[in-house]
Amino acid sequence: MSVKIIDIEKGVQGYYIQNDRFTTTLISYNFYLPFKNEDMAENALLPFMLTSCCSRYKDYIELNLRLLELYGADLSAKVSKLGDLMHIQMSISVINDEFSLDMANPVRDAAELMNDVIFRPSVEQGAFLESDLSREKRKTVERIEGEINNKRAYASTRLLSEMFGNEPYGKFIYGTVSSVKEISGEGLYKTWQNMLEKAYIRINVVGKNLPETVFSSLKNEDVLKNRDWIGFSYTTKPLEENNRVNVVTDRLDVTQGKLEMGFSSGMCADFKTAAPLIIFSDVFGGGPYSKLFSNVREKQSLCYYCSASARRTKGFLTVSSGIEEENADRVVSAVLKELEDMKQGKFDDEVVASSKRSIADSLLGYYDNQSALDLWYAKQLEESISPKEAAETVERVSRESIIEAAQRVKLHTVYRLLPSKQEGQNE
């Protein structure tokens, strides 16, 4: 496997990630913009609008017929948080040319379709059509309102909102119902123009071969020739320490309580620098060998599940658990006890070895998953490290650096989602 980087225009790069294992080629357009509260809803809705129709294929039916002609190509969109940046991705996966009939070129045709979808949307007089916009707004509202139905995800979202306050990172990425309903066709058109003119753009091609037209065709797109891209910093502001632990409790109609604990780490860094934090998080609460699983869940039976996750792009760590209300305080104390043991180096080298093997195997598994491999490179902006290099970095992490990472971890916020109180019960 190899990676080739091609400069296309100012602030526009192509990444050819060559891999012979796949029978399909994946092309993803990745747009990176500063994460702001005021345009979050528009930026989040935009990729779903663009991938639903375009000027050549006027509606969802026509577009899907074209995808069927391309041997059932898969067109998708997603948005995510990448530190203090908003990551907008639109991608298409199509069979390799060698498997097509009648000497067809499905990869080239899929690349042309992506250009139509992104650069030539279905608009009239500087506005997206109301019929298309109302459909996508309805879907987004349903997505926002449906978040509360997954109580574990909802609790995680609420924890972030409490940890980051009014910072964009703490907001639900699709915005609020009211902000979505206020989106207009004219406003979304300006959002589209802003994305093309001011975002850093990276086009990833993951597959066996790279047709020359995939990147060269972009030089014919006028909007990319005259971009108002002045660049921006990829650095991210880490979560600050909290001098006083913030404790928040919500009550909803749930049968199983959720406990979310957020910790600052001060380690907002690239993979190589943050590798000790990643291993600490795994030994602390990753696999079945971890301290939280072995001691808090199994030995003490205080919760239904208990796991930890590090977010190196924003410098924090979370612990998630499913609990009975009467055990909430005991779980917090037990988690903090395990954290203190980690800070004092009370963990076995065998567990560290198991953690390293698990993380390394997971990283090497990226080579077997085309979408995961695409996302791996899409998430790297300041460094260019392969999954294999990341796995080797993990293997070199010392016991001392894991302890140092643990000592930087401090409790920031505790969020509890508990069952509603019955009438007559005391808080």
Q: How far is CA 55 from the centre of its chain?
A: 30
Mention the CATH class of domain 246-419: alpha beta
Residue of 422, 256, 421 lying closest to 328 (CA atoms) = 256
Query: Would the CATH topology of 2-225 be identical to that of 246-419?
Result: yes
Is the Cβ–Cβ distance between 93 and 74 less than 8 Å? yes
The rounded distance, in Å, linking the Cα atoms of 331 and 420 is 20
* Residue 161 confidence (pLDDT): 96
pLDDT in tens, 21-34: 999 999 999 999 99
* Residue reference for tokens 């909102």: 161
Q: How far is CA 398 from the centre of its chain?
A: 28
- Do you know the residue count of the chain? 427
Band (227; pLDDT cuts 50, 70, 90)? confident
Task: Transcribe 286-347 into DSSP letters.
Answer: SSTTSHIIIIIIIIS---SEEEEEEETTTTEEEEEEEE-GGGHHHHHHHHHHHHHHHHTT-S
End-to-end CA gap in the chain: 59
DSSP SS3 for 212: coil
* Residue 427 confidence (pLDDT): 45
What ranges do the domains of the chain cover?
Answer: 2-225, 246-419
Residues 185, 187, 191, CA angle at the centre, nearest 5°? 115
Q: Which CATH number fits domain 2-225: 3.40.50.300, 3.40.50.150, 3.90.550.10, 3.30.830.10?
A: 3.30.830.10
Residue 16 pLDDT > 60, yes or no? yes
The one-character DSSP state at 77 is E
Is the Cβ–Cβ distance between 264 and 412 less than 8 Å? yes
pTM of the model as a whole = 0.93
**Which tokens sit at 243?**
């001098």
Where is mean pLDDT largest: 217-226, 229-238, 398-407? 398-407
pLDDT in tens, 247-301: 999 999 998 999 999 999 988 778 888 999 999 999 999 988 999 999 999 999 9
